[in-house]
């Protein structure tokens, strides 16, 4: 693990504008309505099915491209990495799984954090990468999230986190579970500084991530249809020994039962975050600054 020092932003990264990942397949099939559409048409629609509104999962680059102001993104703590503290082996050694994930994604772990702006409103931002081992939370993910909250507290910035995760990473055992407490403590420090935290839950948000920083926002919002919950549907059904509603653990179910503040479609997300940051800046005009 790298030393606990705050890295300087990379100017090259700051001026780079992410682009959607290319694909050779010109068609895509919606898993909800089963309709087939041109992939480019779906991408132009912010990766939302034009027929039924199903929200496809986004890459980190795609999320940045549609969310933050051009040229405002400055990634931090990108050098943090971990080896194999438990020498974990299942069907493959943990080191080989990590090497493949790093080669495919071009990053060290399942979250990117940094500073950005939305409609000229500065913020600290984290985006989880579900393509990196299911967005699972290990030591590096917890450390980067905690450092981001502490950075925001020092700079007087609000925090927005886009969550997409299968939960704590089993290959790091109890070390991954400790990140639940670490991130929660960092959120408490941000709250002591009277700075806001907005959690945006995407599909899926589950396990130890859902049970920690994902559900601790001052405002908890979600994309339509996002799967959100701790245990899976089968385990929950066996635990309560009864049939569960069809929309159980979906964003709409959580909103109806008071566990979310809002469901925000992707086309409205940037505008909604801009409005919320503006209102919160008025609430704390001396704390939030560029």
In a domain, 147, yes or no: yes
End-to-end CA distance of the chain: 31
In a domain, 13, yes or no: no
Q: Which domain holds residue 33?
A: 26-56
In a domain, 165, yes or no: yes
Q: Give yes or no: residues 43 and 114 share one domain.
A: no
Q: Give yes or no: residues 44 and 176 share one domain.
A: no
pLDDT for residue 18 is more than 50: no
45 token code pair: 């629609």
Q: Give yes or no: residues 169 and 217 share one domain.
A: yes
Q: Give yes or no: residues 104 and 224 share one domain.
A: yes
Q: Give yes or no: residues 94 and 225 share one domain.
A: yes
In a domain, 216, yes or no: yes
In a domain, 108, yes or no: yes
Look at the block and give the residue holding tokens 């100017």: 11
Q: What is the pLDDT of residue 12?
A: 37
In a domain, 262, yes or no: yes
Q: Give yes or no: residues 51 and 109 share one domain.
A: no
Q: What is the pLDDT of residue 286?
A: 47
| Torsion of Cα atoms, 176 then 181 then 186 then 187, to 10° | 110
Q: Give yes or no: residues 35 and 176 share one domain.
A: no
Cis peptide preceding 185, ω within 30 of 0: no
How many structural domains are present in the chain?
2
Q: Give yes or no: residues 83 and 193 share one domain.
A: yes
pLDDT, tens digit, 9 for 90 and up, residues 143-180: 999 999 999 999 999 999 999 999 999 999 999 999 99
CATH of the domain at 229: 3.90.226.10
Q: Give yes or no: residues 232 and 216 share one domain.
A: yes
| CA separation for the pair 82, 108 (Å, rounded) | 8
In a domain, 7, yes or no: no
pLDDT, tens digit, 9 for 90 and up, residues 87-135: 999 999 999 999 999 999 999 999 999 999 999 999 999 999 999 999 9
Cβ atoms of residues 147 and 114 within 8 Å: no
100 token code pair: 């493949």
In a domain, 11, yes or no: no
Q: Give yes or no: residues 79 and 41 share one domain.
A: no
| pTM of this structure | 0.87
Nearest to 146 by CA among 60, 213, 219, 68: 213
Q: Three-state SS for 202?
A: strand
Calculate Rg over the CA atoms of the chain.
19
Q: What is the pLDDT of residue 68?
A: 98
The domain boundary residue, chosen from 34, 56, 78: 56
Q: Give yes or no: residues 146 and 31 share one domain.
A: no
Q: Give yes or no: residues 39 and 107 share one domain.
A: no
């Amino acid at each position: 693990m790298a030393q606990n020092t705050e890295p300087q932003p990379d100017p090259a990264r700051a001026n780079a504008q992410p682009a959607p990942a290319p694909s050779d397949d010109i068609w895509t099939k919606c898993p909800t309505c089963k309709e087939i559409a041109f992939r480019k048409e779906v991408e132009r629609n912010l990766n939302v099915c034009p027929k039924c509104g199903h929200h496809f999962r986004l890459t980190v680059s795609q999320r940045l491209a549609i969310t933050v102001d051009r040229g405002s993104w400055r990634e931090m703590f990108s050098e943090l990495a971990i080896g194999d503290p438990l020498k974990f082996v299942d069907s493959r050694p943990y080191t080989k799984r990590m090497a493949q994930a790093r080669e495919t994604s071009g990053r060290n772990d399942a979250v990117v954090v940094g500073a950005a702006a939305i409609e000229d409103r500065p913020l600290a931002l984290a985006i989880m990468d579900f393509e990196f081992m299911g967005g699972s939370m290990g030591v590096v993910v917890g450390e980067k999230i905690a450092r981001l909250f502490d950075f925001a507290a020092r700079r007087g910035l609000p925090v927005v986190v886009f969550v997409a995760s299968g939960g704590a990473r089993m290959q790091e055992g109890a070390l991954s579970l400790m990140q639940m407490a670490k991130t929660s403590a960092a959120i408490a420090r941000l709250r002591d500084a009277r700075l806001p935290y907005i959690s945006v839950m995407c599909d899926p948000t589950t396990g130890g991530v859902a049970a920690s920083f994902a559900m601790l926002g001052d405002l908890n919002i979600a994309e339509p249809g996002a799967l959100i919950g701790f245990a899976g549907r089968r385990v929950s059904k066996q635990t309560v020994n009864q049939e569960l509603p069809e929309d159980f653990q979906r964003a709409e179910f959580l909103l109806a039962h008071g566990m979310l503040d809002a469901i925000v479609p992707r086309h409205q997300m940037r505008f909604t975050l801009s409005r919320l940051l503006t209102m919160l800046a008025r609430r704390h005009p001396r704390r939030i600054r560029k």
